[in-house]
Amino acid sequence: MAAVTGVGLAAPAGADAPAHRPSIEVVAQGLDDPFGLSFRNGKFYAAESAGGEISGIVPGGRGPVVRAGGFTAPAGVDRTRGELLTVTGEGQGPGASTLFVSAPGVAPRPLADLAAHELAENPDGQRQFGDDGAPLDALSNPFAVLGGRGHGTAYAYVADAGANAVLAVDRHGTVSTFFVPDVVTTGVCAGRENNDPEHAGCDSVPTGLAWGPDGNLYVSGLAGEAPGEGRVYVLDPVTGELLREITGMDGPTGVAVGDDGEVYVSELLEGAPAGEPGADFDPSTVGRVVRVDADGSRSVAQVTMPVGLRWARGALYSTAWSVAGAFLGQGGLGQVVRVDPSAFTAQG
């Protein structure tokens, strides 16, 4: 998680429970740092990173119900036709950097060791360890998972933020490298010192995955949280060929695509103070979602600390207050929200 959320926040004294404008409808609350978000058959699924659970949410229902648990820092989730896919983030010991599969009434089972693939294949080709044998950076930090749609042999795609790669996993758990974005060398990333001196610039850091109505695979890239250098990669889902890029984002942590092709990007820490916030700092102002229309025009909606996005039932849904526990020290503030079109205003 530290590789994706590198700015600290502090809660003001006596911080109240989160609130939203009317254009942001709360679908579920009481979650512990929800990251990934999925939807199928009228139900949302949220990966509660701090709670170690995948919760199922029926809009208008009583509340989140645990559908799978016992994970260490689950980051990404996707509900396919018959199974629940979960990826866990980096860490020590069994269960870290792993793709799990579960089903109703069936406990999660590990399908693929994603850290092992990084160690064996090193997709981005960067130096992994220093002279002292210590890792120079996060090696494998899976952040999102998306079920395949019968394209090639991919049963699931994984955005591995630590490996700087999108991975493909088949039904037998065999992992292959699907796409490796180039190191970002434009703007403030030009000449930036990296953990590997031979690869100066900002690592791509894939964070989010989504299918578009065009059948292509969309991938958000954090680009080292460098302002304006985050991007969305649009890929051919069979070959992994880069078809186009959408640039000019500030630290994207998730992506979704609407029915008409509009692209939504979550910017988890947009507006976060560079230093220690003052006593009157309002953490609810941190974060936003950017919408990029087909004609390239952009608009933004203020959503507090969003990570996972999902287009479902003709509307955009997002996790919110996704790092409240990690940064504010307050559990149970996480939400799933519906972002109404009226929440977006033209980006200046």
φ, ψ at 342 (rounded to 5°): -70, -10
**Does the predicted model carry a pTM greater than 0.85?**
yes
Inside any domain, residue 293: yes
Domain assignment present for 70? no
Is 61 part of a structural domain of the chain? no
Asked if residue 68 belongs to a domain, the reply is: no
* Residue 324 three-state SS: helix
Question: Has residue 59 been placed in a domain?
Answer: no
Residues 6+ apart with CB under 8 A from 77: 36, 37, 38, 45, 46, 47, 54, 84, 85, 86, 87, 145
Lowest mean pLDDT among 36-40, 196-200, 264-268: 196-200
Residue 1 in this model has a pLDDT that exceeds 50: no
Q: Is the confidence at residue 129, as pLDDT, over 50?
A: yes
- Tokens linked to 81: 């036709």
For residue 308, being part of any structural domain is answered with yes
Provide the residue range defining the domain that includes 234.
24-31+133-346
Question: How many domains does the chain contain in total?
Answer: 1
Give every CB contact of residue 220 below 8 A, 6+ residues apart in sequence. 159, 206, 207, 208, 209, 230, 231, 232, 249, 252, 253, 254, 255, 265, 266
The predicted-structure confidence for 256-267, as pLDDT tens digits, reads as follows 999 999 999 999
CATH number of 281's domain? 2.40.10.500
Tell me which residue has tokens 């220690």.
Answer: 276
Q: Rounded to an integer, what distance in angstroms lies between the CA atom of residue 158 and that of residue 176?
A: 10
What pLDDT, on the 0 to 100 scale, is given for residue 21? Answer: 61
For residue 93, what pLDDT is reported?
A: 66
pLDDT on residue 7: 43
Whole-angstrom Cα Rg for the chain:
19
Q: Which pLDDT tens digit goes with each residue over 274-318?
A: 777 777 889 999 999 999 999 999 999 999 999 999 999 999 999
Confidence check: pLDDT of 161 > 90: yes
